[in-house]
Amino acid sequence: MVLEATMIVVDNSESSRNGDYVPSRWDAQADAVNLIFSVKTNANPESSVGLMSMGGKGPEVLVTLTTDFGKVLDGIHRTKIRGGTHLATGIQIAGLALKHRQNKSQRQRIIVFTCSPIDEDEKSLVKLAKRMKKNNISIDFVAFGDLEPENTKKLEAFNESIKGGDGSHLVVIPPGPSLLSDHLVSCPILAGDGVAPRGEPGMDGGAGGGGGDFDFGVDPSTDPELALALRMSMEEEKARQEKEGKKEGETSEPLEGIPEEQPLLNESGEASGSGEATNSEKPKKDDEDPKKDEDGDKMDTA
C-alpha cells in the first residue's frame, strides 16, 4: 500500500462548537481523526500521521508525525476551541512539518477540516495551491458546517490548482444524522487506502457483504476499538488453550520411581491379591496340622 506522511489540520474555531453535526462539529472532527489514523496505519504500518490546529491566535502543531495513536488522542484532548481560522498559514506550517519528516520516501499529504468562513481571497489560495503542488504535496479538503457558496468556490479553485498524480480531493459534507466519519469512509480521500466505498464488495451491503473480508466480521477502520477487543479476546483464549494443553501433557506422562497402581482384578477375574492371600493361608493350615496330630496322640496315650 501507499507509504504516506499525513498531517491532519483540524478547525478549532468558535464555529466548531455548533451542534448541527452529530454530536458536534468538533467531536465529529475528533472521530474522523481517529478513523483517518486507523486507515493510514493499517494500510501501511510505516505510514505516519501528525495533527495540528488552525484556530485561535494562530496554527499550532499538536503532534508531529508519529505512529502512536495515544499521542494523537492526547493532542485532540489538549486542543481548545477559540478564535477564528488561519487556513493559508495552517497549510504552510503543515507543509513545513512534512518537509522535516524522517522517512523521505513517504508521500506527503495534508487533510484539512474546515467548518468556518474562509477569510483568505481566492487569488492567494490559488497561489498557495501551486506552491504546494510544486513541492509534491497533496491536499484534501473536508468542507462541512458553513457551506456558503463563497467558501465552496474558494475551495474548488484551490482544488483545481493543486490536482496532480497523487490526487487531491474536495469533499463537501452537508449536515445530517450520519457521522462525519461515515461520509469519509465512502469518499475518495480514504478509498485509495484499502477502504472501499459503501455498496462495493468488502463493505456492508455489498456483493461480499457480511464482513467476510475482515476478521470477526468487523471492519477495523470503522470500529477499531471493537476489532481490537475481539482480537485480544481471541489471543487470550488461544493462550489459555495452549496452557491447558501443556498441563495435560505433563500430567499424562508417568512419573519415574513411582509404581503404577495395581489393577482391581487379575487375569482370572478375581480380586487382585486374593491369590496371595490364599497362598499365605495354606502354610498356616500346614502348620496347624502337626499340632492337631500331637493332640490326638496325647489323647490316645491318655
DSSP string, 187-201: SHHHHTTT-PPTTST
Please compute the mean of the pLDDT values over residues 113-131 and round it to a whole number.
94
Q: pLDDT of 104-117, one tens digit each?
A: 999 999 999 999 99
pLDDT in the model for residue 92: 96
pLDDT in the model for residue 270: 62
Is the distance from CB of 56 to CB of 89 less than 8 angstroms?
no
Please compute the mean of the pLDDT values over residues 69-85 and round it to a whole number.
94
pLDDT band at 146 (very low <50, low <70, confident <90, very high): confident
User: Would you say residue 79 has pLDDT above 70?
Assistant: yes
Please compute the mean of the pLDDT values over residues 184-212 and round it to a whole number.
54
pLDDT in the model for residue 177: 86
The predicted model scores a pTM of 0.65
Give the closest residue to 69 by CA, choosing from 82, 54, 51, 55: 51
Give the phi and the psi of residue 183 in degrees, each rounded to 5: -70, -35
User: Would you say residue 273 has pLDDT above 70?
Assistant: no
Residue in the block written with cell 478549532? 12
pLDDT band at 271 (very low <50, low <70, confident <90, very high): low
Whole-number mean pLDDT of the chain?
79
Q: What cell numbers appear for 172 in the block?
A: 463537501
pLDDT in the model for residue 201: 36
